[in-house]
Structure formats: C-alpha cells, structure tokens
Amino acid sequence: MLIGMLNREKIKVVLDANWYISACISRKSRRTIYYEILSNPDIDVFYSAELLEEFKDVIYRVKFAKIMNPSQVQRFKSLILLRLKRVSIGTISRLVRDVKDDYLLAICEKVKADYLITGDKDLLVLGSYQHTRIVTMSYFLQILSVEKT
C-alpha cells in the first residue's frame, strides 16, 4: 500500500488517450507499466466518452492497422474498460491551446484528479490545473516508487 493512503482516498489519475494507444500497440514495457497502474488497488483511473472517442479515432488510423486489427482493439478496450471509472463531463470550457485536450482537464476537474499523465507539451507546460498535477508517465512512476519505500 502506498504511504499516506491509510489517511486518504485512492490516488485519482487521468491518462491521456495517447497512453492508451501506446499500451495497446506496445508488446512489452508500456503495456506492463499500464497494467501495473490499472491493477494497483491504491489508484483509480478515470475516463470519459470523449477520451474513448479520441482513442478510437487514433487507433483505427491506417498506420496502426498493420499493428492491431479491429478485433484486437476491441479486446483491448473491453479489458481496460473493466478497470477504469467512467465519468460524464458535460459542457467543456476552452482551457488550453489545443481544444482537443480540454476534455482531459474537464475529467480532472470533475473527479478532482490528483494527476493527469500525458506526454503532450501543451498540457505539461501548465504544470497543474486546479489541484491536478500534470506530469509525464516517467515522473508519475518516480512518485509511485518514492511512496512505496
């Protein structure tokens, strides 16, 4: 159990859609990291219909067809959705330069997420949004390893 978890709720995390893509097409390290986060009992991972839509828009692009066929994508989605918590975000305000990223901050706001994990520089430059820290996956993994010791 993570240090400090006895006195607080689970860590609330939002993963950028690109992390789902990466885990889906990766055969090794990224999928393992993703599985460790999803199976960690101290972490709740949230998503919305908008995030799922972005995932579908990207994963079904021609360049990924060589890597994942539609049945593999569907299997991946059905497996991960069992471990994620869905939220409805309603109206999305214009918050960042790339309007396609606004829904991620809306999810964070709705669930009062502790972390948004992304590789998107437009989001990372913010550093935080309300009380959500915006971090890379490597930084988040460092936080987890520190809290485990």
* 126-149 per-position pLDDT tens digit: 899 989 999 999 999 998 876 654
Residue 51 is assigned to a structural domain of this protein: yes
Token pair listed for 123: 């989001």
* 42-68 per-position pLDDT tens digit: 999 999 999 999 988 888 888 887 888
Q: Which uninterrupted H or E stretch holds 85?
A: strand 85-86
Query: How many structural domains is the chain composed of?
Result: 1
Q: Could you give the C-alpha distances from 94 to 16, 54, 55, 57, in angstroms and in order?
A: 17, 17, 21, 21
What residues are paired with 13 via a beta bridge?
Answer: 45, 115
d(CA 13, CA 42): 11
What is the domain extent for residue 64? 9-148
**Who contacts 133 (Cβ-Cβ below 8 Å, separation ≥6)?**
114, 115, 116, 127
- Tell me what pLDDT residue 104 has: 93
Residue 1 is assigned to a structural domain of this protein: no
- CATH number, domain of 99, equals 3.40.50.1010
Residue 24 is assigned to a structural domain of this protein: yes
3-state secondary structure of 117: strand
Residue 60 is assigned to a structural domain of this protein: yes
3-state secondary structure of 111: helix
Token pair listed for 109: 């706001």
Alpha-helix runs per DSSP H in 26-136? 29-39, 49-59, 62-65, 70-81, 102-111, 121-124
pTM of the predicted structure, to 2 decimals: 0.84
